Amino acid sequence: MDLPHVCDQTVHLVREVGAFIRKEQQKVTSGDIELKSLNSLVSYVDKQAEEQLVAGLTRIVPEAGFIAEEGTGERNGNGLNWIVDPLDGTTNFLHGLPVYSVSVALHDGKDLVIGVVLEVGQNECFHAYRGGGAYVNGSPISVSSNATLADSLLATGFPYYDFERMEEYLNLLRDCFQKTRGVRRWGSAAVDLAYVACGRFDGFFEYGLNPWDVAAGTLLVQEAGGKVSAFSPTNDPIFGREILASSSSVYDELNELVREHL
């Protein structure tokens, strides 16, 4: 597979879908919103955006299957799959907040090989392919060079349906408040990871996530020189519903802090 060419085509498609989402943002009404499960919202914009992505990605790599949030397309059991979130940060989108994104990754059954995240509000497109580095709007990016957790700005996501680890999570946050420059919660894991990749955040952690939330951003962080893992060394950060990502310089310190609580 010609990864640079496939990545370029994917970026073009994602930008087209992002333009559709941006245009529809002012049109969505409360009557368009559906509740999939506790605090999990969806609208026609998510569904139509995913349909556009699946149709376009099928033309780019016809043999690949799909792992998509809204269930469009079928998974390829042999391993080559697009992992698609048509609108990460739907709650932000529906409430008129600016941080929401399109996230698309290609997984070959063993590794992530392409990752694209478009932060729609700022029109920033992050992309990476295996071995090719990471970029935003065509310019190379790298993770932060801050050497210690005390100098770091972290990102996380607040639990919104899985509250089983709430006490441990709040204790971890308490430590983070005291041992870092601060903690931010944007509401889009894909954007959080993209911001780790470009050095705006030094690290990110969250649990209760799905593959489409983190796949593209994981490759961005790795190709930008960072590290990604689950909380447990035996778990998988893409499919294991928990993730820790950071610059290489603070990874050990952040990993120790997270594992102490979670």
pLDDT tens across 154-204, in order?
999 987 667 888 899 999 999 999 999 999 999 999 999 999 999 999 999
Last residue of a domain, one of 141, 170, 196: 141
Compute the average pLDDT of residues 34-56. Answer: 78
Query: Is the same domain home to 201 and 249?
Result: yes
Helices 189-197 and 211-223 cross at an angle (nearest 10°) of: 0
Query: Is the same domain home to 10 and 132?
Result: yes
Query: Is the same domain home to 22 and 135?
Result: yes
CATH code of 95's domain = 3.30.540.10
- Report pLDDT digits (tens) over 205-256: 999 999 999 999 999 999 999 999 999 888 999 999 999 999 999 999 999 9
Calpha distance 208→242 (Å, rounded): 6
Query: Is the same domain home to 8 and 137?
Result: yes
75 — pLDDT class (breaks 50, 70, 90):
very high
Query: Is the same domain home to 155 and 109?
Result: no
Q: How many helices (H) and strands (E) does the chain have?
A: 7, 14
Beta-sheet pairing, 124-129 with 182-184: unpaired
What pLDDT sits at residue 186?
95
Calpha distance 221→192 (Å, rounded): 10
Last residue of a domain, one of 141, 164, 186: 141
Compute the average pLDDT of residues 50-73. Answer: 95
Greater confidence (104 vs 79) lies with: 104
Q: What is the CA radius of gyration of the chain?
A: 17
Instruction: With a cut of 70, say whether residue 82 has pLDDT above it.
Output: yes
What pLDDT sits at residue 158?
87
Calpha distance 128→114 (Å, rounded): 6
Query: Is the same domain home to 72 and 169?
Result: no
Compute the average pLDDT of residues 84-104. Answer: 92
Instruction: With a cut of 70, say whether residue 117 has pLDDT above it.
Output: yes
Domain that holds residue 255: 149-261
Chain mean pLDDT for the chain: 93
Query: Is the same domain home to 227 and 175?
Result: yes
Query: Is the same domain home to 44 and 86?
Result: yes
Which amino acid, 153?
L
Instruction: With a cut of 80, say whether residue 43 has pLDDT above it.
Output: no
What pLDDT sits at residue 39?
43
What pLDDT sits at residue 37?
54
Query: Is the same domain home to 127 and 31?
Result: yes
Query: Is the same domain home to 96 and 113?
Result: yes
Last residue of a domain, one of 94, 116, 141: 141
Calpha distance 81→63 (Å, rounded): 9
CATH code of 257's domain = 3.40.190.80
What's this model's pTM, rounded to 2 decimal places?
Answer: 0.94
Instruction: With a cut of 90, say whether residue 126 has pLDDT above it.
Output: yes
Query: Is the same domain home to 51 and 88?
Result: yes
Q: How many domains does the chain have?
A: 2
What pLDDT sits at residue 35?
64
Distance of CA 148 to the CA centre of its chain: 24
Helices 166-179 and 248-261 cross at an angle (nearest 10°) of: 140
Beta-sheet pairing, 242-247 with 203-207: antiparallel
Which amino acid, 200?
R
